[in-house]
Amino acid sequence: MQNILEVKNLSKQYGQQYALRDVSLSIRKGEIYGLIGKNGAGKTTLIKVITQLIHASSGSVSVFGSQTSKEWTEALRKTGSVIETPVAYNQMTAYENLSYCCKVHQIDQPDQLIKETLAYVGLTDTGKKKFRNFSLGMKQRLGIAIALIHKPELMILDEPINGLDPLGIKEFRNMIQRLNQELGITFIISSHILSELYLVASKFGIIDQGQLVTEFTKEDFDQASEDYIVLKTSEPEQAASLIQEKLHYQLKDADKAGELHIMAQEQELNAIVRELVLANISISGIYAAHKDLEKYFTDLVQ
């Protein structure tokens, strides 16, 4: 697989403050790359440098193999982006906005293309409704449609999930996966919530205080994440000694008092309950858990 984007040792300073510090990453064709970081971590700055909206203080960016700044600018024609908020004309409908974009891109006879693009983003039925009356989710979709109209190979979306409700997030996920699978579009999607990107992205980069802390694929994450059993009890000491000494399970750190985290799989839960009951140890709750994505993320950036 070829690299569509290569960022090397990129830094951006505002006075003494680093918005980006020595960031290097590469994105391969066909990937959906989730760029995850807290507010102020540097996501938008990285995206703005890649799309030439701002200049880096040092480092290099290569898009579609570009070697010079001019080639980089040309390569951005094969890129579509929605950065910060989706921009469209308030007084125009979805169709009219896309029709206007087609004029700008000098696309002749755009009717079929506009209809196809609206179908891809799920805005076929918005009729005469004007952009100013769209919901946030609809605005995001039209932003993506505008970025899609010239058939880019790479799409860069800055916080597209912000403010969407769970149904909106699910629809967004389906849309991105269709565009990725059917049209082969590579994506970079930023978010401050790892779990929202978990189901859509194939690779993740965690950015904190301007630095790329780690990168991992979805498979890496699934292998590293562990199953465990949470036991809530008013007798944690007795429960701990039974679980460790008699049942030979290990315990891992639990944050809450009266809660034990047992290194065991879901299918072992019944056997553990049986032993606790036999030993007369109170159980106020017991359930199987999976390492929490947000906890994994906060552990990485603290």
Ligand X SMILES: Nc1ncnc2c1ncn2[C@@H]1O[C@H](COP(=O)(O)OP(=O)(O)OP(=O)(O)O)[C@@H](O)[C@H]1O
Q: Is 66 in the site for ligand X (CB under 6 A)?
A: no
Cα(161)–Cα(200) distance, integer angstroms: 11
Q: How near is the Cβ of 166 to ligand X at its closest, in Å?
A: 20
Query: Can you read off the two tokens belonging to residue 164?
Result: 């969407």
Q: Is 16 in the site for ligand X (CB under 6 A)?
A: no
**C-beta of 162 vs 238, nearer to ligand X:** 162
Specify the residue for token string 């805005």. 123
**C-beta of 21 vs 261, nearer to ligand X:** 21
* Buried/exposed 73-83: b ≥16 CB within 10 Å, e otherwise: eebbeebbbbb
Query: Looking at 35-43, 145-153, 170-178, 258-266, which segment touches ligand X (CB under 6 A)?
Result: 35-43
Q: Which of 130, 192, 218, 232 binds ligand X (CB under 6 A)?
A: 192
Query: Looking at 40-48, 95-103, 197-205, 238-246, which segment touches ligand X (CB under 6 A)?
Result: 40-48
Q: How near is the Cβ of 50 to ligand X at its closest, in Å?
A: 12
SS3 66: coil
**C-beta of 17 vs 265, nearer to ligand X:** 17
Work out the angle between the directed axes of helices 136-148 and 111-120 (0-180°, nearest 10): 130
- Pairing mode, strands 203-208 and 211-217: antiparallel
Say if residues 51 and 72 touch (Cβ distance below 8 Å).
no
State the sign of the Cα–Cα–Cα–Cα dihedral 170, 176, 177, 183.
positive
Window 165-184: residues binding ligand X (CB under 6 A):
none
Specify the residue for token string 């008013």. 234
Query: Looking at 33-41, 96-104, 126-134, 289-297, which segment touches ligand X (CB under 6 A)?
Result: 33-41
Cα 227 to its chain centre, rounded Å, is: 23
Q: Is 39 in the site for ligand X (CB under 6 A)?
A: yes
Q: How near is the Cβ of 37 to ligand X at its closest, in Å?
A: 5
Q: Is 81 in the site for ligand X (CB under 6 A)?
A: no
Q: Which of 21, 43, 141, 173 binds ligand X (CB under 6 A)?
A: 43
Q: Which of 5, 7, 10, 19 binds ligand X (CB under 6 A)?
A: 19
Q: How near is the Cβ of 272 to ligand X at its closest, in Å?
A: 42
* Buried/exposed 31-55: b ≥16 CB within 10 Å, e otherwise: bbbbbbbbeebbbbbbbbbbbeeee
Binding residues for ligand X, rule: CB under 6 A, are 14, 19, 37, 39-45, 192
